[in-house]
Amino acid sequence: MSIANTAAQAMLSDALLRDGPVDSRIRSLELELPLDKVIKFVSVGLPLLLVSMAFAREITIGPQISCFPPTNFTAKQAGYVDTYCWDSLMHHEFDADGNFEERSLWVHKMFPYSLLAMAMLMYLPALIWRFLVMPCLGADLLFIIDELDMSYNRSVRIAQKTELPKRVEEKNKCAGSRSTGCLYFEYPLLERYMQCKQRSYFLVSMLFLRGFLLLLFMSASCLYLVYFHLSAFLQDEFSCFVRTGLLRDQPWVPELVQCKMTALLVFQVISVANGVIYVLLAPVVLFSLLRLFCWDTTFLSLYEVLPGLGLISGRKLGCPLNDLNVLLLFLRANVTQLRSYEFTLQVTRS
C-alpha cells in the first residue's frame, strides 16, 4: 500500500478520536493550575471561615459588650445602655487638661463585614481569570491535546505497516530533505502553532496580573489589620457616654458608663490568624510567578519521539515568558486527558 493511501487511512481513523461534545470536554479540563487553586481556596476560604466563626459566636453568645450601669437603673434603662453603647461604640475619656475626648471602636462592629470584603477582593483575580482567560485557554488545550493524540496514532499506524529498517532509513532521509514521502512523517501544524504561541503573551500576562492582584490585596488586608485593629487590639474596656436620648434630662444618670468587650479574644484570634496566613501565603504566590521564568520541557520532551515535533531537539525554545510555557504547565495538569501520554511514556522507557 502506498504512503498516500496509508496517510489517508490514518487521517480517517484519526477522526474517531473526537468523541463527545466540545462543551463537555472543556468542562473536564483543568483550566486552573493546582497551585493557583490552593491559593484561591486559602485566600478566599480563610476569611469566609473566620467570618462564619464570628457570626456563630455572636448568635450563640449574644451581644459582644457588657455594660455596668448604676444599680438604680431599671431593666429597660440597662438594656437601653447596652444597645446604645453597642450602636455608638465610642470610647470617651478626659485628657490631662480635663477636655472631653472620644475615640471610635467601630472596627469591632465592622470586623465580620471587612472579612467578607476581603473574601470578595481575593476572589476577584480568579473571577477575571474565569471570564477572560478560560474560554480561549480551553480551546487552545483542546486543539493541542487532539493534535498530540492524532500525531501519536498516525505514527503508530504507519509503524505497523512499515518495516523497521525502512522506517529508520526514511527517517534519516527526512532529516536532510523534504521529499513528498517524508511529508507524511511531518506534522508542521502543531509545531507552528506552538511557535506562534511563543510570540503570544496574553496568558502569561494574565497570570502575572492574577498574582499581582493577589499580592496587592493581601498586602492591603495586612495593612488594614495592622493599622485599624492594632489600636483596638488590647482594649477590652471602654467608657460610654450614656446621658443622651431617654436619659438626657436625668441628673442622677452618670455621664460615663464602663463597658467591657466580651468578644475581644475572638477578635484577636481571627485578626492574628488572618494576617499570619496571608503573610505565609505571599511566598507561595511569588513562587507561582517565578516558575514562569523557567521552561517546563519535561512534558514536551516526551513527545519528541514523534516525528512531527521538534521544538526542543531543534533548539527553538527562547525566553520562557510567553504563552507556550503557560500551555505546557496546563498540559501537565491535564495529562489525564491525553490518551497517548501513557503509551508514549512506555515507548520512551522501552
Give the pLDDT of the chain (350 residues) as one tens digit per residue.
455 555 545 444 543 444 555 566 677 889 999 999 999 999 999 999 988 888 887 777 666 788 888 888 888 878 888 888 888 888 877 666 666 677 777 877 788 888 899 999 999 999 999 999 999 999 999 988 888 877 777 766 666 565 444 544 544 555 444 444 444 444 567 778 888 888 899 999 999 999 999 999 999 999 988 887 777 777 778 888 887 766 677 777 787 888 888 877 878 888 889 999 999 999 999 999 999 999 877 777 777 666 555 555 555 677 889 999 999 999 989 988 887 777 666 666 65
Cβ atoms 46, 123 nearer than 8 A: no
Question: Does residue 74 lie within any of the structural domains?
Answer: no
Helix (H, G, I), strand (E, B) or coil at 119: helix
Question: Does residue 70 lie within any of the structural domains?
Answer: no
Longest distance between any two alpha carbons in the chain, whole Å? 112
Question: Does residue 100 lie within any of the structural domains?
Answer: no
Residue whose cell numbers read 451581644: 63
Question: Does residue 12 lie within any of the structural domains?
Answer: yes
pTM for this prediction: 0.79
Q: Residue 128: its pLDDT value, please?
A: 96
Rg (CA), the chain: 33
For residue 292, the one-letter residue type is: L
For residue 272, the one-letter residue type is: V
* Count of residues making up the chain: 350
Residue 320: closest CA among 347, 350, 289:
289
Question: Does residue 9 lie within any of the structural domains?
Answer: yes
Instruction: Give the number of other CB atoms < 10 A from CB of residue 148.
Output: 24
Question: Does residue 269 lie within any of the structural domains?
Answer: no
Cell of 133: 482567560
Question: Does residue 266 lie within any of the structural domains?
Answer: no
Domain that holds residue 142: 3-60+112-236+280-349
Question: Does residue 178 lie within any of the structural domains?
Answer: yes
Looking at the structure of the chain, the number of domains it has is: 1
Cβ atoms 190, 151 nearer than 8 A: yes
Main-chain dihedrals φ then ψ at residue 187, nearest 5 degrees: -125, 80
| Residues whose CB falls within 8 Å of the CB of residue 137, separated by 6 or more in sequence, listed in order | 31, 203, 330
